[in-house]
Amino acid sequence: MAADGITGGDPLDQVDGQERVADAATAVTGRARWGIFLGVAATVIVVDQLSKAWLVANVSVGEVVSVIGDFVRLVQSQNSGALFGLFRDQAILFALVSVGVIGLIAVYHAKAGRSWYLSLALGLLLGGAIGNMIDRLRLGYVVDWVDIGLGGLRFWTFNIADSAISVAILMLVVAALFPAIAGGARGGAQGRTDA
Determine the Cα–Cα distance for residues 88 and 147; give it in Å rounded to an integer: 19
Q: Are 94 and 167 in contact (CB under 8 A)?
A: no
- Name the catalytic one among 48, 135, 147, 162: 162
Whether residue 162 lies in the annotated active site = yes
Beta bridge partners of 148: 72
Q: What are phi and psi of 187, to 5 degrees?
A: -65, -30
- Name the catalytic one among 48, 135, 144, 147: 144
Determine the Cα–Cα distance for residues 92 and 77; give it in Å rounded to an integer: 18
Query: Using only C-alpha atoms, what is the Rg of the chain?
Result: 24
Half-sphere exposure (CA, 13 Å, Cβ side) for 130?
21
Straight-line distance from the first to the last Cα atom of the chain, in angstroms, rounded to the nearest whole number: 24
Whether residue 144 lies in the annotated active site = yes
Looking only at Cα atoms, what is the longest distance across the chain? Answer: 87
| 139 Cβ contact list (under 8 Å, min separation 6) | 78, 91
The type of residue at 33 is R
Q: Which positions are catalytic? A: 144, 162
